Amino acid sequence: MQNSCKNVYITTPIYYVNDVAHIGHAYTTIIADMLARHSRLVGHNTYFLTGTDEHGQKIAQSAEARNKTPKEYADEISGKFRSLWDDFDITYDKFIRTTDEEHKKGVQHAFLKMYEKGDIYKDEYEGFYCVPCETFHTESNLIDEQFCPECGRSTIVVKEESYFFKLSKYQDRLLDWYEQNPDCILPRAKKNEVINFVKNGLKDLSISRTSFNWGIKLPAEINEPKHVMYVWLDALLNYATALGYGATEENMKFWPANIHLVGKDILRFHAIYWPAFLMSLELPLPKHIAAHGWWTRDGEKMSKSKGNVVNPKEVADAYGLDAFRYFLLREVPFGQDGDFSQKALIDRINSDLGNDLGNLLNRIIGMSGKYFDFNVSSKDVEKFHKKELEDVNSIIETLQGFIYNMQINKYLEELWKILTIGNKAINDYEPWNLIKDGKTEEAMALVALITNIMAKVALLLDSVMPHKIKDISTCLGIQISTENYNKLILNKELLDDVKITKIDALFPRVEDILLAQPPCGDISKSEEEISTKVELEKLEIQDNLITIDKFFEASIKVGTILEAQEVPKSSKLLLLKVDLGENRPRQILAGIKEFYNANDLIGTQACVAANLKPAKLMGYVSEGMLLAAKDENGLSLIRPEKPKKIGTKIS
């Protein structure tokens, strides 16, 4: 049995060159590298793309602040990204830059094609623009009428001539695509957020700027020299231009992408804008867009001002690249936020890698050398250990489904169960007693069982820790190859006779933290004390723990909704008049328009946070907040089980 060979295309986002690489960049790239390595091992034709995004107003401003041209600045930062990925032995097939001439030509080709199709038109743009996020916002999306809802920083008002893409034209087609392809966005919970956003209505997208010139010019055929393309149109098209779209077309056989890996902060661009562009260009849509979470450090958000940003190169140099890779892939389920701490990393190294994996290999070396002069034969494994082999093969059969569904931490959890079978078999069958009792065949079968388990695990773990697995393959005298993958994994065969070679310990025990801790609290405390404090702080952050006194500072009352109407120009807000038993009804703005009809609310009751400071939204004063709960199934107001007297306090 063999895996059917197919073309596999895996991409990371192209990283914006406004700063050097951090742990989030490393996380994305290591996931992509793991997927690419696995795909090659199982025999697929694989193309792995990464690179840098180098245009836009933010880059021009950053370059100017450093007395550099935008290209000089982009060259410097892009070079640092590429150097880091080379140091990390990332097996990319192409490193694309949006300043590459082939990319520019491909983007211009795409722009012209969409223009000639009638999907791009000229108009005037007026609205709010966040320079750091390179994102346009409507007034209804802003915080306090001026701040970006994504990063919280101040927006600028932009009014200029612009070309627009007819994004609204593709709203229904996008919704159909989401419905017909359940796993087009992973994890699936993220997909619901995208669908709700699209259902609220899509506006046409401004895709050119005239207020700066650091970007790709419009096609010469359009004759608009003062316009440059919006950075997100330019950037997203890299996935196609990297394969030769609009130029050589030499690698378009890999289209469409099997997996676009992105951070959750840029999911909307990839799950809405990108498929709409592809629909316009009449190109097949990606199979999966996979959005991962963010990383904190010791329970705190990372920032330069706190001095707690994780430098991935420093961590890899201190603890080993493969240990770092394993930690990132194992520590957190894909899609959820993760927390980096040296204590957690050390625990993984000493427990999972040292005790479970490394120690099992040491036992193979020890037993084979002591009892059989390092020679291992598999001829009697099935005779004495049929049950263990069945259990191992049963686990292996489930593993493939986890990888391309982005359940990588689950893949590793299940894979570790195979190591448990190996360690348990040694304890159960006690080879030292088998030898003592003259049961040499049984002892050899046991050593061979463990050797085969380690060989199968090595093949399945190679994409995660390629350098340490090379050491294991040297020890076992096998090659990590598609041929052996087919033999040992797919066909469930056993090793031929092998000669074991002694090697150094894979993962020596780490006793102390190896990197200086960022300033936080009492630096005289031990790592264990700091870690305990951090875990408590994380619990408080996660559960938002407060004292009972703090709780009673909140005044939550039952109110009856007397009036409800839509707020003009807002897709989210309803304007309510709520009676709380006071001398006049409260005016409250609630972002529930997507889930409730205004007329249906009149006469119903709701729970209201009544002692909030009044806030102004969309020109209206809001004097409280309705309590609600929202999950993947939508939003529901929190209401009393039975009608209550208005003004009744919740306690």
| Known binding positions | 130, 133, 148, 151
The Cα 86–Cα 316 span in angstroms is: 13
- Side-by-side strand order, sheet with 586-590: 586-590, 574-579, 556-566, 605-609, 625-626
The residue written with tokens 């469409």 in the block is 256
The Cα 250–Cα 99 span in angstroms is: 20
Cα torsion for 293, 296, 299, 301, to the nearest 10°?
Answer: -110
Three-state SS annotation for 109-157: HHHHHHHHHCCEEEEEEEEEEECCCCEEECHHHCECCCECCCCCCECEE
Task: Could you list the residues known to form a binding site for Zn(2+), using ranges.
Answer: 130, 133, 148, 151
The Cα 589–Cα 623 span in angstroms is: 8
- Give the orientation angle of helix 171-180 with respect to helix 274-281, to 10 degrees: 100
C-alpha distance from residue 434 to each of 104, 202, 360, 448 (Å) = 70, 72, 19, 14
The residue written with tokens 């059969």 in the block is 397
CB neighbours of residue 116 within 10 Å: 12
Token pair, residue 351, equals 């427990």
Q: What is the DSSP string of 15-63?
A: EETTS---HHHHHHHHHHHHHHHHHHHTT-EEEEEEEEE--SHHHHHHH
Q: What is the DSSP string of 307-369?
A: T----HHHHHHHH-HHHHHHHHHHHS-TTS-EEE-HHHHHHHIIIIIIIIIIHHHHHHHHHHH
Q: What is the DSSP string of 291-309?
A: EE--EEETTB---TTTT--
Is 594:635 a contact under the CB 8 Å cutoff? yes
Give alpha helix (H) positions in 430-547: 431-436, 440-461, 466-476, 482-484, 527-543
Is 461:455 a contact under the CB 8 Å cutoff? no
What are the residues facing 606 on neighbouring strands?
559
Is 328:284 a contact under the CB 8 Å cutoff? no
Is 381:448 a contact under the CB 8 Å cutoff? yes
The residue written with tokens 């040992």 in the block is 488
Query: How many Å from the N-terminal Cα to the C-terminal Cα in the chain?
Result: 65
Q: Which residues contact 251 (CB under 8 A, 6 or more apart)?
A: 47, 242, 243, 244
Cis peptide before 187 (omega within 30 of 0): yes
The Cα 436–Cα 260 span in angstroms is: 57
Closest CA to 648 of 589, 606, 613, 614: 606
| Cα torsion 147, 151, 153, 157: sign | negative
The Cα 328–Cα 332 span in angstroms is: 7
The Cα 482–Cα 465 span in angstroms is: 17
- Side-by-side strand order, sheet with 135-137: 135-137, 120-130, 156-165, 205-206
